[in-house]
Amino acid sequence: MKFAPLMMLYPGLLSVLFIVGSISALLGTIWKLMQHDIKKMLACSTMAQMGFMMMQCGVGLFAAAIAHLCWHGLFKAYLFLSSGSAVKQKKSDASFSKASPMMLITSLVGGMAAMFCFALVTNKTISLYQASAFVLFFAFIAGAQLMLTWIRVHQTVLSRVSGLVLASFSGIMYGASIQLIQWLIPGLSTLQAPHLSLIHWAMMSLFGVFWAVFNLGSHKTMSQSKLGCWLYMNLFNSSQPSRKTMTALRNDYNY
């Protein structure tokens, strides 16, 4: 973050950082969905989240990236501590079924609530050209995913109300954490973020489409085609560690 003022002087550098972060976030998300080992899933998830932080830095939202880092650290620590019980539960329980279109539409309401609560706390204006639209978009996706997961587990009318409250609260907490970071590091709030370009909106649209496709389960239908199988195998193989870094025999380890 010490280099933030220097990076703001070079828009091209910010664009490169955004593109690299987008690739990291996209590959990490896809690779995570292909893994069966809990440790590899957590590693790919961390890779994706670090990519999202780089994307936030690429649009000049350094305070949002720091807040994302703090929340991710807390959440990932919980995931590591609960990974053992997650493996046990995965063996006994069936995985989530695909979301119905009505569930997806309902979750969008939670996303809107999270986005507006986030904008209210941070005093961000909803504009298509300002960099704040980027973090508002991901606040919307996070709120929608939170509500979708909630109503999948609790399929009652009351769960929709409680899910809406939970999504709104998440937007408030995320916005408050960014405000706290800006208060602790005053220099970040004085940086003028660049305007969003076509590249930024293209990547945001791509992540939005991916979110809808995977939650609707459309990727399973696509994976049954020859192109889908070829793409799956190549992506899965690329997510595996190199053979040069793996030891197959116990005698190869140095104690």
Residue 236 pLDDT greater than 70, yes or no: yes
Is there a domain that residue 239 lies in? no
Number of residues that make up the chain = 255
Whether residue 220 is contained in a domain is answered as yes
Q: Which domain holds residue 59?
A: 3-81+98-200+208-233
Is 248 inside any structural domain?
no
Could you count the other beta carbons within 10 Å of the beta carbon of residue 45?
19
Q: Is residue 189 part of a domain?
A: yes
Task: Judge whether 174 and 66 are in contact, CB under 8 Å.
Answer: no
Segment 126-177, tens digit of pLDDT: 777 888 889 899 899 999 999 988 888 877 878 888 989 999 999 999 999 9
Residue 188 within a domain: yes
Cβ neighbours for 26, distance < 8 A, ≥ 6 positions apart: 48, 51, 206, 207, 210
Q: Say if residues 44 and 32 touch (Cβ distance below 8 Å).
A: yes
Task: Let me know if residue 252 belongs to a domain.
Answer: no
91 part of a folded domain = no
How many domains does one find in the chain?
A: 1
CA distance 67 to 174: 8
pTM over 0.95: no
Residue 112 near residue 163, CB atoms below 8 Å: no
Asked whether residue 106 is assigned to any structural domain, the reply reads yes
Residue 179 CA to residue 122 CA, distance in Å, equals 6
How many CB atoms neighbour CB 235 within 10 A? Answer: 14
Tens of pLDDT, residue by residue over 59-115, are 988 999 999 999 999 988 888 887 776 655 654 444 455 667 788 888 999 999 999
Evaluate if residue 25 carries a pLDDT over 50.
yes
